[in-house]
Amino acid sequence: RKEVEQDPGPFNVPEGATVAFNCTYSNSASQSFFWYRQDCRKEPKLLMSVYSSGNEDGRFTAQLNRASQYISLLIRDSKLSDSATYLCVVISGSARQLTFGSGTQLTVLP
Amino acid sequence: GAGVSQSPSNKVTEKGKDVELRCDPISGHTALYWYRQSLGQGLEFLIYFQGNSAPDKSGLPSDRFSAERTGGSVSTLTIQRTQQEDSAVYLCASSGRGRSSYEQYFGPGTRLTVT
């Protein structure tokens, strides 16, 4: 079983739709969680951290469920510019190395 | 301010040749990471440097891969006797101190093609 697993998609949604991605992780001792965004042939960029209490940044909401070992990302009122691959990232251990999921591809259609 | 920079942006090499990839982290960032990403795949951790501590090399796929970081800043990833399976985008990232040490900033990557 992979350490971090994501549904690869693709998710094709119309503009304005609400879309949610889940990501599961296997290491119960994992400490920190993030969502990164990667545009085609570009480097990953930090989208948001995921806090235990859940957090919101504009149209984006991230949540963590430690009991079930998953994190989620909700995008409301999706825009064409949201089209990208969304990478779930988990930090475990003291080395602070990030373990990346393989990403979920989102395409927002006009 | 300047972000993470990497050079070259693209490198085509023949099988069996050695290559060196360079990373300049964000000024003041103490941690530096190397990852690689094959086409359509997630990121694979290679090596991690933190300050003057011994690097975490646990992700290096073989002894043909090595990396160094001089003066706590610039890093070079070296691949000896390249193989076709080494073809990938090699990404460097850096991070700062405290809570922000978990937030990594990536360079644009070096696209390596081994022919």
How high is the pLDDT of residue A44?
Answer: 93
**CA-based radius of gyration for chain A:** 13
Are B112 and B87 spatial neighbours (Cβ–Cβ below 8 Å)? yes
Closest A-chain CA to B110: A43
Mean pLDDT for A9-25 is: 95
Q: Which of B108, B68, B61 is nearest to B87 (CA)?
A: B61
Instruction: Give the mean pLDDT of chain A.
Output: 91
Residue whose C-alpha is closest to residue A32's, from B102, B35, B71, B31: B102
Give the pLDDT score at B98: 64
φ, ψ of residue A28 to 5 degrees: the values are -65, -15
For residue A3, what pLDDT is reported? 86
- A45 in contact with B at a CB cutoff of 8 Å? yes
Parallel, antiparallel or unpaired: strands B75-79 and B65-69: antiparallel
Q: Distance (Å, rounded) from C-alpha B37 to C-alpha A47?
A: 19
Identify which of A32, A42, A102 has the shortest CB distance to residue B102. Answer: A32
Cis peptide before B55 (omega within 30 of 0): no
* Section A52-81 average pLDDT: 94
Question: Is the pLDDT assigned to residue A52 strictly greater than 60?
Answer: yes
The answer to whether the CB atoms of B103 and A34 lie below 8 A apart is: yes
The answer to whether residue B56 scores a pLDDT higher than 70 is yes
Beta strands in A1-110 (DSSP E): 4-6, 11-14, 19-25, 32-38, 44-50, 55-57, 60-65, 70-75, 84-91, 98-100, 104-109
The region of weakest confidence among A79-83, B43-47, B93-97 is B93-97
**Which of A98, A99, A102 to mutate against chain B (most B CBs within 10 Å)?**
A98
**pLDDT, tens digit, 9 for 90 and up, residues B87-107:** 999 999 998 876 666 788 999
Q: Which of A20-24, B3-7, B25-29, B37-41 has the lowest mean pLDDT?
A: B37-41
Question: In whole angstroms, what is the distance from residue B79 CA to residue A70 CA?
Answer: 36
| pLDDT given at position B77 | 98
Question: Tokens 């040749």 correspond to what residue?
Answer: B17
DSSP H or E segment with residue A24: strand A19-25
Bridge partner residues of B49 (DSSP): B32
What span, in angstroms and rounded, lies between the C-alpha atoms of B64 and A10?
A: 36
Check whether B9 has a pLDDT greater than 80: yes
What is the per-residue pLDDT for A67? 92
What's CA B106's distance to the chain center, in Å?
Answer: 10
User: In which band, very low, low, confident or very high, does the pLDDT at A84 lie, cut at 50, 70 and 90?
Assistant: very high
User: Pick the residue with more confidence: B99 or A105?
Assistant: A105
Q: How many CB pairs under 8 A join A and B?
A: 48
* pLDDT above 60 for B40: yes
Q: Quote the CA–CA distance of B112 and B6 in Å, as a whole number.
A: 12
Write the pLDDT tens digit of every residue in A28-38.
888 889 999 99
A95, pLDDT greater than 70: no
pLDDT confidence of residue B102: 73
Look at A43 and B91 and tell me if their CB atoms are within 8 Å: yes
Q: Is the pLDDT of residue B34 over 70?
A: yes
Predicted confidence (pLDDT) at residue A81 exceeds the cutoff of 80 = yes
Task: Measure the CA–CA gap between B71 and B4, rounded to whole angstroms.
Answer: 16
